[in-house]
Structure 1
Amino acid sequence: MAHWDMSNLTTVEKRLDAALEDASKNRSEQHKLAGLEWEASKTADINRVSFLDLSLELREMIYTEALICEELTCTWLPEDPAQRYVNKYNPQNQPNVALFKVCRQIRAEAQKIYYSSNTFTTRLMFAFEQAGRYAMMVPAPYKDLVRQVHYRFDFRHLLCRPKEFPIYTSMIRKWFPSAHVEIMLWEYPSSVHFLNVTSREENFQSERNFLKTLTGWDKIPDGFGITFDGVGFYSHKLKDIMVDWKPLLRAKDGAVH
Structure 2
Amino acid sequence: MTATTGNHAATTTSGSPVPVARRRVATLLLTLLVLAAIGLTVFQWWEPPFTGAIDFDTTVGLGAGYWAMNVLLGGPAFAVTFVVAALFLAVLGDLRWPALLAATALALAGLVFALVITAETLPFIWAADPAVVDPGTGRSVTDAFNAGLPGFAVWIGGTTAVIIVAVLAAMIWAAVVRGLPWRVVALGVTVVAAGFLLPTTPPVVVGLSLVERVLWVLLGWFGYRRLIRPTGA
Check whether TM > 0.5: no
Higher RCO structure (Cα 8 Å, ≥6 apart): 2
Give the structure with the higher percent helix: 2
Give the structure with the higher percent strand: 1
TM-score interval for Structure 1 and Structure 2 normalised by the shorter chain: under 0.3
